[in-house]
């Protein structure tokens, strides 16, 4: 998967955005990705990838 490919199509969240968030914030739980970036809160298609 290319870093600029969208993981979340509803909110246009790319793999690059997710990796950057993980590096900066080091979240203790995956649900913070959804809370902070919105990924996984639309149709739910990307939830298994988060």
pLDDT attached to residue 22? 96
pLDDT attached to residue 1? 87
Burial of 19 (0-12, 13-18, 19+ CB in 10 A): exposed
pLDDT attached to residue 25? 96
Residue 29: DSSP 8-state: S
pLDDT tens across 1-50, in order?
899 999 999 999 999 999 999 999 999 998 999 999 999 999 999 999 98
pLDDT attached to residue 7? 96
Residues for the chain: how many in total?
Answer: 50
pLDDT attached to residue 38? 96
45-50 long-range contacts (CB < 8 A, ≥24 apart) are 45/9, 45/10, 46/7, 46/8, 46/9, 46/10, 46/13, 49/7, 50/7, 50/18
Q: What is the pTM of this model?
A: 0.87
């Amino acid at each position: 998967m290319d870093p600029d490919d969208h993981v979340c199509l509803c909110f246009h969240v790319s793999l690059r955005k997710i990796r950057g968030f993980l590096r900066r914030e080091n979240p203790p739980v995956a649900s913070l990705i959804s809370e902070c970036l919105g990924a996984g809160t639309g149709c739910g298609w990307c939830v298994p990838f988060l």
